[in-house]
Chain A
Amino acid sequence: QSVLTQPPSASGTPGQRVTISCSGSSSNIGSNYVYWYQQLPGTAPKLLIYRNNQRPSGVPDRFSGSKSGTSASLAISGLRSEDEADYYCAAWDDSLSGRWVFGGGTKLTVL
């Protein structure tokens, strides 16, 4: 059972806009930044969004992040076949002695 809650799957057709949600609590998303990672099949994860809505250099602006209260979301516009991957949200959690927590991951299928 992951600390952050994501839908296990999402799908869309090329060109569509899809969103992936991530729900947490006051000790993680509610008080810290949210990060999003993309994991293409058979590869290591890659940072997609940092500090809620910032894109690292090289990440297309089709990817955007937002946060409100204890929830966050990742939006992908102009969906492309190469976006088919697993997506994970993460946040620092202030409970216990501090730790990173992840969502269970969302498998995005491009139909």
Chain B
Amino acid sequence: EVQLVESGGGVVRPGGSLRLSCAASGFTFDDYGMSWVRQAPGKGLEWVSGINWNGGSTGYADSVKGRFTISRDNAKNSLYLQMNSLRAEDTALYHCARDFLGGDYSRGFDPWGQGTLVTVSS
């Protein structure tokens, strides 16, 4: 069974940092691109960042560019999101999601993990 499990969320003060992790299982991790997609409480979906199968290509939403860094460790079947200079507006449930069709991150998201909650508050 394909499974994505996020961890690393929590409560952090504005300006602080967090590192999210996503553990993948049930598929050949290095065959697929991956993304982080967030959902603020009661709001819609927002793509945060994506990375291709070997980490050679990455992309970021303008709202996080320069503050967040996506990476992956194919040997550990894991995806990461380093979040620095956090702001109140970064408060959200962060989902990791696999590219539906293959090694890039531009062909849809499926499946999704259940998410890890990040709360930025003083």
Contact = CB atoms under 8 A, between A and B. Distances in A.
Contacts of B32: none
A60 interface: no
A88 interface: yes
Contacts, number: 65
A101 B47 contact: yes
18 contacts: A2-B44, A33-B107, A37-B109, A44-B95, A44-B111, A45-B95, A47-B109, A50-B107, A56-B100, A90-B47, A92-B106, A96-B62, A98-B59, A99-B61, A100-B47, A100-B50, A102-B44, A103-B44
Interface residues on B, range: 20 to 34
A105 B37 CA distance: 14
Contacts of B109: 35, 37, 45, 47, 90
A105 B62 contact: no
B100 to A, nearest CB: 6
Interface of B: 35, 37, 44-47, 50, 59-62, 95, 100-101, 106-115
B115 A102 contact: no
A47 B45 CA distance: 13
B84 to A, nearest CB: 20
Contacts of A68: none
Given A47-B111, A99-B59, A100-B106, 20 more contacts: A33-B107, A37-B45, A37-B109, A43-B114, A44-B111, A44-B113, A44-B115, A45-B112, A46-B111, A50-B107, A90-B45, A90-B47, A90-B109, A99-B62, A100-B37, A102-B44, A102-B47, A103-B44, A104-B44, A105-B45
Contacts of B59: 97-99
Interface in A18-34: 33
